Amino acid sequence: MTNKVILLIDMDGVQADWTKRVLSTYTEKYPDRFVPKQEDVTEFFIEGLFPEEHREDLLKIPRTKGFYASLETIPGSIEAMKDIEENCKDFIEPYICSAPELDFEDLLCHSEKAQWVKKILGDFWLKRMILTKDKTVVRGDYLIDDKPVITGAVDPQWKHIHLKQPYTPSTAQCTFEWSQWNILKKHLLKESKKYLKESRYYRSGL
């Protein structure tokens, strides 16, 4: 047993500003069409906010070469990721856990996500990337993710921490913003101490 808390961290909508890039690119390509403001994107599946005849134009944007490799960062996320790398390795076992776009041009989404991580975060995080369409099968204690509901093949072991976005459901039990990272860090440290205590009981046979 280990006293480290396994923390899984999503990319798009958590570290990388997927929505901002989609909206800005769509505006550039179709300046005469309606485009919602980012704060008005109240649906996770953004295409639902657009007229049906325009949805395919929208969906082509995040499926084109260069999209994921050049996403902007979400404020506060990179500072927290660096803090985890430099100051939290004694009690947090961290991984990036992201779902790649399978309809991406030439299936390059996987490599572009890796390029983004190497450029923005460095080799430490590049070696801790998990790319999967089913996050429920990944072992962890907590998952920071912006998706309102995450389903898959099994009931996940991790607890879902919702990265707060305009589409975060009001019923979400655990919401989080990067400005609250120090609060979450203290909680994870407390959890690790509890795990350490439990592991000592386990080794002693109590």
Question: Among all residues, which ones are annotated catalytic?
Answer: 10, 12
What type of residue sits at position 126? L
Return the sign of the alpha-carbon dihedral for residues 132, 136, 137, 143: positive
Tokens 């953004």: give the residue.
46
Return the sign of the alpha-carbon dihedral for residues 64, 69, 75, 77: positive
Report which secondary-structure segment, H or E, holds 118: helix 109-120
With contact defined as beta carbons under 8 Å apart, do 77 and 15 qualify? Answer: yes
With contact defined as beta carbons under 8 Å apart, do 58 and 43 qualify? Answer: no
CA angle 81, 84, 90 (to 5 degrees): 165
Strand blocks (E) in 67-205: 92-98, 129-131, 142-145, 159-163, 175-176
**Nearest of 116, 76, 75 to residue 96 by alpha carbon:** 116
Q: Distance between CA atoms of 41 and 35, rounded to whole angstroms?
A: 10
